[in-house]
Amino acid sequence: MIVRKNLLALTLLLGIGLMFTGCNSKGNYSKTTGWAYNDPKMGGFEVQTDFREQVAGPGLVFIEGGTFVMGNTQENVLGEYDNAPRRVTISSFYMDETEVSNVDYLEYLHWLSRVFGQDYPQIVKNALIDTLVWREKLGYNEPLVENYFRHPAYRSYPVVGVNWVQAMDYCTWRTDRVNEMILIKEGILDPDPDQMNENNFNTEAYLAGQYQGLVNKNLPDLSSESGERPVRWEDGILLPKYRLPTEAEWEYAALGLIGNTLFNRVVERRIYPWNGNIVRTDDKKYYGSIIANFKRGRGDYMGVAGNLNDGAMIPAQVGSYWPNDYGLYNMGGNVSEWVLDVYRPASFEDIEDINPFRGNVFQTKEKDEEGFLVEKDSMGRIKYRDVTVEESLTRRNYRKADNINYLDGDHQSLAGVDWASQPQDGSNTTQAMYAYGDRSLISDHTRVFKGGSWKDPAYYLSPSVRRYLDEKEATNFIGFRCAMDRVGSQVKGN
């Protein structure tokens, strides 16, 4: 009798299981409701069940995250107290293998000229780099002014003369070109060389239904009579945004500690992106060779003829010298690089210990009175606005949009300042604390750049060194590389 009851119970359980799985024996159904996924007869709720993990976008290298000690690894030669060591944790992400090169940026300008040049020439003009950064009052650099950016001899050299704002715009453009090509390769869109003005592929506009393009074959729609639909974010086909890396991400990736650990322990805290405290390789085949492009001493940019040390008077080609343990080239030397952060001398005291970053200005997409997204702008991009104080009243994690000067430049940090003479709406408090242009060069538009360059002595090759410049200024020794968020598992192949 007991055996018979157990067999009956087992039969009932199997029957219920078969009912829930329906036509899919792989468990393609909701474990909370029992309704089948991807079945038009059951409502057509679509779930991507074949997604494995994010693939690396073009040019990117996977950077496995973890904890590390961020900050000074050697004595600050200027005596500045702006980089005290602190332990933080960085999420896994992706970063460009090399700096963005001249030919990469020329491709960007070509696209802008083709799409916006006729009706919006100012957009192209705003993207042009400053080639005059090569001029020196007492030096002859006119050949570099004329040739460095556009001559094919320099096409694989890192782009310089680009400011922070231009670098951010390039990242936005690159996101859209990469995702457009993904849709073309997937057979969803056909190439459209006639895109012009606002009628150009933008990832957000496409996802919002404000750009259609030349459709080849859309995906099947299991919940509508039309039977097809464009790609959604939930399909996992499109990639996240290209962007500048944060200061913490850049420093973490540059150190490449995956080659310097033993059983979850950092064996030696690195000064440079390689082991040891010298700038020569211990590779037996090239023993003693200079490992980075930097200035060895006063007037010595590349060594003596017949026995050049780093072999590059100015920036070298991207991909030169030895990569670090993450496979990233020139994280020490060649050109310094813009990062995402706003500079503050005391950020190390204030920032979070997971994915630290200063520079958040929280935004939301603009909507009309009926709650629909407003029409995209003249560049074909979705419009955003800062979140309001009223929208943030019930939040515990933030209370306003602009958090750049939080704890460092806001009213709470204005020690010794006459509050009555300052604006009470929370604006321009950084000016009161740092007196930009008077006592300092620090403002809400001052951005960090990291890494040494061809123009710097060895001290600046340390990834920990912090420097800053206004976001609209450019030099002949600052370039940039892009990064991308990692979605899903922190471990590659998991």
Q: What pLDDT is stored for residue 281 in this prediction?
A: 74
Domain assignment of residue 370, yes or no? no
Report residue 74's pLDDT band, with 50, 70 and 90 as the boundaries. confident
| pLDDT tens-digit series, residues 168-196 | 999 999 999 999 999 999 999 999 999 99
Per-residue pLDDT, 437: 86
pLDDT of 16-63, one tens digit each? Answer: 444 444 444 455 889 999 999 999 888 889 998 888 899 999 999 999
Q: CA 112 from chain center: how many Å?
A: 21
Q: What is the pLDDT of residues 287-341, one digit of tens each?
A: 668 889 999 989 999 988 988 888 899 999 999 999 999 999 999 999 999 999 9
Instruction: Look at residue 12 in the predicted model and tell me its pLDDT.
Output: 44
Model confidence over 337-390: pLDDT tens digits?
999 999 999 999 999 999 999 999 999 999 999 999 999 999 999 999 999 999
pLDDT of residue 464: 95
Q: Average pLDDT of 225-242?
A: 93
The yes-or-no verdict on residue 491 having pLDDT over 90 is yes
Confidence (pLDDT) at 410: 84
pLDDT grade for 14, boundaries at 50, 70 and 90:
very low
CATH number, domain containing residue 265? 3.90.1580.10
- For residues 215-237, give the mean pLDDT: 91
Report if residue 434 sits inside a domain. Answer: no
Tokens of 384: 């955003």
Mean pLDDT of the chain: 90
Instruction: Identify whether 109 is part of a domain.
Output: yes
- What would you measure as the largest C-alpha separation in the chain, in angstroms? 104
Amino acid 119: pLDDT: 96
Question: Distance between CA atoms of 113 and 265, rounded to whole angstroms?
Answer: 51
- Inside any domain, residue 166: yes
Structure letter (DSSP) for residue 10: H
Is residue 46 one of the residues assigned to a domain? no
Residue linked to tokens 């929370």: 426
Measure CA 385 to chain center. 21
What would the pLDDT profile of 257-270 be if each residue is shown by its tens digit? 998 888 777 877 88
Tens digit of each residue's pLDDT (9 = 90 or more) over 272-289: 998 877 787 777 777 668
Contact yes or no for 317/156 (Cβ under 8 A): yes
Which pLDDT score, from 0 to 100, does residue 285 have?
Answer: 72
Number of domains in the chain: 1
Length of the chain: 494
Question: Which residue has tokens 């200063």?
Answer: 358
Exposed/middle/buried for residue 109 (C-beta within 10 Å: 0-12, 13-18, 19+): middle
Secondary element (H or E) of residue 251: helix 247-255
197 in any annotated domain: no
Q: 138 lies in which domain range?
A: 60-186+237-361+446-485
More confident residue, 218 or 306: 218
pLDDT > 70? residue 417 = no
Residues 6+ apart with CB under 8 A from 128: 109
pLDDT of 6 above 90: no
Residue 294: exposure state from Cβ atoms within 10 A (0-12, 13-18, ≥19): buried
Q: Name the residue among 253, 236, 211, 306 with its Cα closest to residue 54.
A: 236
- H/E stretch holding 494: none
Residue 131 falls inside a structural domain? yes
pLDDT digits (tens, 9 = 90+) for 459-481: 999 999 999 999 999 999 999 99
CB 160 within 8 A of CB 335: yes
Angle between helix 164-185 and 102-116 (nearest 10): 80
pLDDT of residue 419: 55
Alpha helices in 87-163 (DSSP H): 102-116, 121-127, 142-147
Tens-place pLDDT, residues 129-145: 999 999 999 999 999 99
Q: Is the pTM of this model over 0.85?
A: yes
* Structural domain includes residue 281: yes
